[in-house]
Amino acid sequence: MREPMSAEEVLKRLQEALGEAILSHEVREYTMGVRRKRTYRELWIEIDPEAFRKAVEVMFELDYPHLHFITGEDDGGDSLRMVYSFGLFWAIPWGELSVTMRFNLPKDNLVLPTITDLMPGAETNEREIREMLGVEFEGLKNKRHLFLPDDWPEGKYPWRKDEHGVEDMVKHTHRSVNEIRKMRGEE
């Protein structure tokens, strides 16, 4: 039986391994329940993208995590904000600790190491991020599109809000039936 660690202990281990690479951290508390109130905690950290792989490895040393999700945000600036969330000590009542890592990835170097060698199940997540945001994963074996069609144009990413987004592809999608009828010369 695995013993769950507290958010502070996990944070301490991460700090020991990563040092200065943890830019900021926060332990959030949420109280749940009505008659038997209990608090559970979440760890949110902001890291340097260089230390990403190391942080994941530390987590795999503590416990085989459950990958919650990988997502990213493009606000139109110079970098993408990546969010990775793992669940440690799952399968223990009230024990799961969700660790969410966030970091800014500069758009001129959108490369991240894959985690599929540690967890093969992360392939779907990485393929989705690759096609939606254009992040290249070093070491990812299957690089085919996941949701987008195989003939999707190169360099267009649906979640991007800069020139690599799909704005020019969808500018005609909101025409009304009346407009089309007029274009066709119908009444």
Partner 1 sequence: MAKTQYYVPVGPIHPALKEPIRVEAKVEGERIVEVDVKRGFAHRGIEYMGMKRNAIQTLYLSERICGICSISHPYAFVIGSEKALGIEAPPRAQYIRTIIAELERIHSHILWLGVVAHEMGFDSLLFWTWKGREKVLDILELLTGNRINYSVFMIGGVRRDIKESHVKALKDMINYYRIFTEEMKDVFLADPVYKARTRGVAQLSRDMAKKLNVCGPVARAAGLRMDVRQDNPYDAYADIGVRAVVPQDIVGEARGDAYDITMVRLYEIEQSLDIIEFCLEEMPEGKIMAIPNYVALLAKIRRSEGEAIGMHEAPRGEVIHYFKYGNKRDGPVVWKVIAPSYNNINTWAPLLLGAEVADIPIVVAYIDPCMCCNDRVAVVRDESGRLIDPATLHLKAVEKTRKLREELGVRA
Question: Closest separation between CB of residue 83 and partner 1, Å?
Answer: 7
Question: Which listed range, 5-13, 49-57, 106-114, 140-148, lies at the site for partner 1 (CB under 8 A)?
Answer: 140-148
Q: Compute the distance between CA of residue 94 and CA of residue 107 in angstroms, rounded to an integer.
A: 39
Question: Does the protein bind partner 1 through residue 158 (CB under 8 A)?
Answer: yes
Question: Does the protein bind partner 1 through residue 169 (CB under 8 A)?
Answer: yes
Question: Does the protein bind partner 1 through residue 78 (CB under 8 A)?
Answer: no
Question: Does the protein bind partner 1 through residue 120 (CB under 8 A)?
Answer: yes
Question: Does the protein bind partner 1 through residue 136 (CB under 8 A)?
Answer: no
Neighbours of 129 (CB within 10 A): 24
Cα angle value 107/69/119 (rounded, 5°) = 95
Among 16, 20, 34, 138, binds partner 1 (CB under 8 A): 34
Q: Compute the distance between CA of residue 88 and CA of residue 40 in angstroms, rounded to an integer.
A: 13
Among 121, 139, 167, 182, binds partner 1 (CB under 8 A): 121
Among 17, 27, 60, 95, binds partner 1 (CB under 8 A): 95
Nearer to partner 1 by Cβ, of 108 and 153: the residue is 153
**Contact yes or no for 55/64 (Cβ under 8 A):** no
**Contact yes or no for 174/184 (Cβ under 8 A):** no
Residue with tokens 């758009």: 107
Cross-strand bridge partners of residue 70: 84
Question: Does the protein bind partner 1 through residue 181 (CB under 8 A)?
Answer: yes
